[in-house]
C-alpha cells in the first residue's frame, strides 16, 4: 500500500492523517523468521515543515509470532512502537530511506522498518521452558525423552564430554 507524497510536499503546513491496516505475512531478521497472522495497524500523521521537509509521526502495532529462544515453539508477541522523524525529501535518495520510492511512501516497508527497530532480543514461551533435548531434539515441555542429559548446564556439557575421555 502506497501513499503519494506529492500533495503534502507542495503545500507548506499541510497535515495528513492516515489510519490503516497492512498485511505482512512474515519477514526474516537476524536469522529468525517472524510470522504475522493478523494485520499490522498503522496510524500516521504527516506534516509539511516547509522546503520539502516533513515530519512523519505515528505508531505501528500488531502481534508477531516469534519462535521461543529455547524450544522454538511460536509465541504471540504484541508489539507497539511509536516514532517521530523529520524527513528532508531532497536527502531521501542519498540516505537510502527504504520506504520512500519516488514520491510514494510504502506503508508496508515503513511498518517493517519500525517493527525491526523494536524487536525483542529474545522471547521465551515461559520462564520455565525446558527447551529442546540437545541429543534427540524432542521438545522437553511436551515429552520426556530417555536421553541421558543429566542435570548439567548445557554450557558445561562440553566439560562433561571432556571428562569422559579419561
Site map (CB under 5 A) of Zn ion, residues 122-161, x = contact? ---x---x---x-xx-x------x-x--------------
- In terms of CB distance, is 93 or 126 closer to Zn ion? 126
Least gap, CB of 67 to Zn ion (angstroms)? 9
Of 34, 36, 53, 56, residue with least CA distance to 45? 56
- In terms of CB distance, is 71 or 105 closer to Zn ion? 71
What is residue 46's three-state secondary structure?
strand
Site map (CB under 5 A) of Zn ion, residues 106-125, x = contact? -------------------x
Least gap, CB of 153 to Zn ion (angstroms)? 17
Residues 37 and 12: beta-carbon distance below 8 Å? no
Of 134, 140, 139, 137, residue with least CA distance to 152? 134
Segment holding 65, helix H or strand E: strand 53-67
| CA 38/CA 21 separation, integer angstroms | 10
Return the ∠ at Cα 154 (arms to 149 and 160), rounded to 5°. 70
By CB under 5 A, tell whether 49 contacts Zn ion. Answer: no
By CB under 5 A, tell whether 105 contacts Zn ion. Answer: no
Using CB under 5 A, list all residues that contact Zn ion. Answer: 68, 70-71, 125, 129, 133, 135-136, 138, 145, 147
Amino acid at each position: 500500500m502506497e501513499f503519494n507524497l506529492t500533495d503534502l510536499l507542495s503545500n507548506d503546513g499541510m497535515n495528513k492523517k492516515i489510519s490503516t491496516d497492512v498485511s505482512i505475512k512474515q519477514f526474516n531478521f537476524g536469522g529468525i523468521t517472524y510470522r504475522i497472522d493478523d494485520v499490522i495497524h498503522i496510524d500516521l500523521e504527516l506534516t509539511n515543515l516547509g522546503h520539502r521537509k516533513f515530519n512523519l509521526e505515528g505508531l505501528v502495532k500488531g502481534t508477531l509470532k516469534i519462535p521461543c529462544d529455547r524450544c522454538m515453539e511460536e509465541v504471540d508477541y504484541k508489539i507497539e512502537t511509536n516514532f517521530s522523524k523529520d524527513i528532508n525529501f531532497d536527502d531521501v535518495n542519498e540516505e537510502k530511506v527504504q520506504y520512500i520510492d519516488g514520491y510514494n511512501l510504502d506503508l508496508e516497508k515503513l511498518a517493517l522498518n519500525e517493527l525491526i527497530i523494536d524487536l525483542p532480543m529474545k522471547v521465551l514461551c515461559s520462564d520455565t521452558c525446558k527447551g529442546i533435548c540437545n541429543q534427540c531434539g524432542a521438545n522437553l515441555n511436551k515429552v520426556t525423552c530417555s536421553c541421558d542429559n543429566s542435570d548439567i548446564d548445557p554450557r558445561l556439557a562440553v566439560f562433561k564430554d571432556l571428562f569422559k575421555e579419561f
